[in-house]
Amino acid sequence: MKIELIAFGIARDIVGTGKLVMNIKDSGTVRDVRLELLATFKDFEKLASLKLAVNADYVEDDFQLSPNDEVVIIPPVSGG
Amino acid sequence: MKNIKITSEKLSVQECEQHVSHDGCGGIVVFIGTVRNSTKGKAVKGLEFECYEKMAVKELDKIADHAIDELGALNVAIHHRTGAVPIGEEAVVIAVSSAHRKAAFEACEFAIDTLKVTVPIWKKELFEDGEVWVSAHP
């Protein structure tokens, strides 16, 4: 299935765009997205952390994705 | 009562304080995070903040809830700026009121400490010779 990813901050710089579409297996999880990201964009390995949010909440790696989920790449935050 | 705001406009400390002012409070603690002119001895021209707003509001809301429900705060206001912020201006203002001062100090410290860990806002430092996303690398 196709998952649309949104990238902010340094994640946007690394993938080179604010939005990208990724193909993962049906009933794939957040872990599948993370592994694909790390395999495609080596610079993600250099970050202090790499989290993913689904529908505006932090989720664990085993969270099962649906095609309409809003998936956002969350590099290390630095507000304040 | 809580008041959460994310804006590209200049922040007002007074406005933030007014949101938490209450006849039942005996103290108000305000934290103001401002843009410093240097980092590790290197001159900074300014900061640029980016934000995943929908989630940032949600996470800030959780912080305010915890401050009120668990830490004894009466009212909490958290205002964060986005976009370009010049040296000396406020990037974040947090105001907490409580019946007695200790709860307000504790809740305010909790709020800024947690904001820096959980809220999806990213800060880029702008230098004469380039720019760096803060805390991105270990």
Residue count (chain B)? 138
Contact B58 A56 (CB under 8 A): yes
As a residue count, chain A comes to 80
Half-sphere exposure of B114 (CA within 13 A, CB side): 18
- The candidate with the shortest Cα–Cα distance to A75, out of A55, A35, A54, A46, is A46
CB contacts of B117 in chain A (<8 Å) are 77
CA distances from residue B100 to A14, A70, B5, B120 in whole angstroms, order as listed: 47, 42, 25, 31
CA B7/CA A34 separation, integer angstroms: 31
How many alpha carbons lie under 13 Å from residue B52 in its C-beta half-sphere? 30
Kindly provide the b/e burial profile for residues A39-60, where b requires at least 16 CB atoms within 10 angstroms of the residue's own CB.
eebeebeebeebbbbbebeebe
pLDDT tens digits for range A7-31: 999 999 999 999 999 999 999 999 9
pLDDT of B47 reads 97
- Kindly determine whether residue A77 and residue B120, on different chains, have CB atoms separated by under 8 Å: yes
ipTM: 0.95
B133 to A78: CB separation less than 8 angstroms, yes or no: yes
Q: pLDDT value at position B82?
A: 98
Distance from CA of A15 to the nearest CA of B (A): 15
Distance CA A20, CA B6 (A): 26
Q: Chain B residue closest to A6 (CA)?
A: B52
Q: Which residues contact A42 (CB under 8 A, 6 or more apart)?
A: none
- Point out the residue among B50, B56, B136 whose CB comes nearest to the CB of A76: B136
> Which residues does chain A have within 8 Å of residue B112's beta carbon, measured at their own beta carbons?
80
Chain B CB contacts of A72 under 8 Å are 52, 55, 120
Chain A residue nearest residue B132, CA to CA:
A10
Give the per-residue pLDDT at A41.
97
Question: Kind of pairing, strands A71-74 and B38-39?
Answer: unpaired
**Cβ contact A80–B92 (<8 Å):** yes
How does pLDDT run along chain B (138 residues), one tens digit per residue?
999 999 999 999 999 999 999 999 999 999 999 999 999 999 999 999 999 999 999 999 999 999 999 999 999 999 999 999 999 999 999 999 999 999 999 999 999 999 999 999 999 999 999 999 999 999
pLDDT at A35: 96
B57 to A35, B52, B102: CA distances (angstroms): 28, 9, 26
Q: Identity (one letter) of the amino acid at A13?
A: D
- A1 pLDDT tier (thresholds 50, 70, 90): very high
pLDDT of residue B99: 97
Entry pTM:
0.96
**Using CA atoms, how far apart are residues A18 and A5, in angstroms rounded to an integer?**
8
Q: Which of A47, A58, A80 minimises the CB distance to B137? A: A47
How close B81 comes to chain A (CA, Å)? 9
Chain B partners within 8 Å of A80 (Cβ): 33, 80, 91-92, 112, 115-116, 121, 123
Sheet strands side by side (includes A19-23): A19-23, A2-7, A71-74, A51-54, A57-58
Residue pLDDT, tens place only, A34-75: 999 999 999 999 999 999 999 999 999 999 999 999 999 999
